[in-house]
Structures are given as C-alpha cells and as structure tokens.
C-alpha cells in the first residue's frame, strides 16, 4: 500500500475523492486538515498530532449494497486491531463506526464513494490533546498514557489491518469477523435513542445482527436499525 504524506490539506477524503487516477489501496495522510469532515456534515477537528488518513479500494461489482453496509464495522475492527499493536487498551466499537475507550471517542470513520472506488477516511486521536467542540467526548492515546506515538506506523498498521479484514470478508468469513465485532460492542445492553423515519425509538441494545444492523428491544419488539445517530440514554451494565 503506497503512502503519501501531506503537510496540510483541507480533507484527505476530499483529496482522494477528487483524485482522477486512483490506485487501489493507496493511502493519503495529512499532518493537519483544515476542513476535516465528520459524518452527517459535521466538522472533524484535525490539529497536528492526530492520525488523519484515507485510503481507497475498487468496488467489487458482485457485492450487494447490504454487503457493503458491513464495511464501516469492518473498518472499526481494523482500527482496534491496529491500535492494539501499539497500545493495549480496552477499545470498543460504537456502532456503526466509532471507536471508544471508556466513555470517550478515540476514532471516527467516514466511508464515502467516488465512482467505482470506496474511500475509507479514518481519524484517530493520537498525540493531539485539543478536541475543540468535542472536548467532553474526545480522548487521545497521549491523554491516556502521556506517551508520544509514531503516527505513520499507526496509519500503515490500520490500513493493512483493514485490507486483511476486507479480504477475509471477500473470502466469506463475515460470521467470524462479526463474532469479533460483537465482542467489542460498546452499545450492548445500553438504553439508547435513535431516530427512524422521524420517529424516536428508545430501547435496549441487544446486539448486532448478521446484516450489520443494530438490534434494539422496545416493549418486547425488536427494531433492526440500518443507520442512524445513536444517543445513549443510560447503561444497564
């Protein structure tokens, strides 16, 4: 996987999306982003010190949209596997694609599509300590351990872990991958709220199903959520 390192750019996702001739599995990282993008149009605070990177891979025409819905969770698992190699902490996946340590967010993932390519954008708080408007929710490795980490190494690790998991997925190992994801489900047994077709569903998270949907139990009825912003109401465990 080729790595391009940029000093400063608006957004590595935008850079790759707009790049005319994309190479399969090329990675672009920036030391700083001036217009880092989060999901749902949010701004992603990208000061120096974090791992801000994107990589792309060509779509497999044989895979359905439902199959591609599993990619965010696979990316979350890859982030955890990469992080575990440089610092052993209790990382969890907050469905569909955030990584948490304790009650705080250490990483966010933004999956986009450009032509025949998928762009996986990953932000990991590493040596940075200022999270701007996310100060009450963000955390970085440095804040936890006081150590300084090699960002390039982490970027390469996470991207290659993703590639490995993605090929496992293409080989038909989704069930095994899902088991690993389930073990790291941050939302399990928590009471959450999520908007579905302008209706708020409030209930207990009972798990993630085979289609990568979040299963919420409300008054003995199970709701299977395809996408949405999850708000935690309280924790049962």
Query: Which parts of the chain are beta strand (E)?
Result: 3-9, 27-33, 51-58, 91-94, 98-101, 104-114, 117-124, 190-196, 199-208, 214-218, 221-225, 231-235
User: Least distance in Å: CB of 151 to ligand BTN?
Assistant: 12
In the bound state with ligand BTN, the residue whose beta carbon lies nearer, of 98 and 213, is: 98
**For residues 197 and 179, what is the distance between their CA atoms, to the nearest angstrom?**
29
User: Least distance in Å: CB of 224 to ligand BTN?
Assistant: 23
User: Least distance in Å: CB of 209 to ligand BTN?
Assistant: 23
In the bound state with ligand BTN, the residue whose beta carbon lies nearer, of 13 and 127, is: 13
In the bound state with ligand BTN, the residue whose beta carbon lies nearer, of 42 and 135, is: 42
78 closest CA partner among 139, 140, 122, 17: 122
Residues that bind ligand BTN (CB under 6 A): 11-13, 33, 36-39, 42, 44, 46, 52-54, 98, 108-110, 121-123
126 closest CA partner among 56, 46, 181: 46
User: Least distance in Å: CB of 125 to ligand BTN?
Assistant: 10
In the bound state with ligand BTN, the residue whose beta carbon lies nearer, of 82 and 108, is: 108
In the bound state with ligand BTN, the residue whose beta carbon lies nearer, of 122 and 192, is: 122
Helix, strand and coil in the chain, % to nearest 5: 30, 35, 35
Phi, psi (rounded to 5 degrees) for 92: -130, 155
User: Least distance in Å: CB of 35 to ligand BTN?
Assistant: 7
Measured from each CB, the residue nearest to ligand BTN is 108
């Amino acid at each position: 996987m080729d790595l391009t390192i940029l000093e400063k750019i608006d957004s590595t996702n935008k850079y790759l999306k707009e790049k005319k001739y994309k190479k399969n599995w090329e990675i672009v990282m920036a030391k700083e982003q001036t217009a880092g993008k989060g999901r749902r149009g949010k701004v992603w605070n990208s000061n120096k010190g974090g791992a801000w990177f994107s990589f792309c891979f060509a779509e497999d025409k044989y895979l359905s949209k439902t199959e591609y819905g599993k990619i965010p969770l696979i990316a979350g698992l890859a982030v955890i596997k990469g992080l575990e190699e440089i610092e052993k902490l209790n990382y969890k996946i907050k469905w569909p694609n955030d990584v948490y340590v304790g009650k705080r967010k250490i990483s966010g993932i933004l999956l986009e599509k450009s032509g025949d390519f998928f762009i996986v954008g990953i932000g990991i708080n590493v040596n940075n300590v200022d999270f701007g408007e996310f100060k009450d929710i963000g955390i970085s490795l440095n804040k936890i351990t006081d150590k300084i980490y090699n960002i390039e190494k982490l970027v390469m690790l996470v991207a290659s872990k993703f590639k490995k998991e993605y090929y496992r997925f293409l080989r038909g190992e989704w069930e095994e991958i899902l088991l690993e994801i389930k073990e790291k489900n941050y939302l399990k047994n928590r009471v959450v709220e999520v908007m579905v077709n302008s209706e708020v569903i409030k209930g207990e998270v009972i798990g993630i199903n085979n289609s990568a949907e979040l299963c919420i139990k409300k008054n003995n009825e199970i709701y299977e959520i395809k996408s949405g912003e999850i708000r935690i109401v309280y924790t049962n465990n």
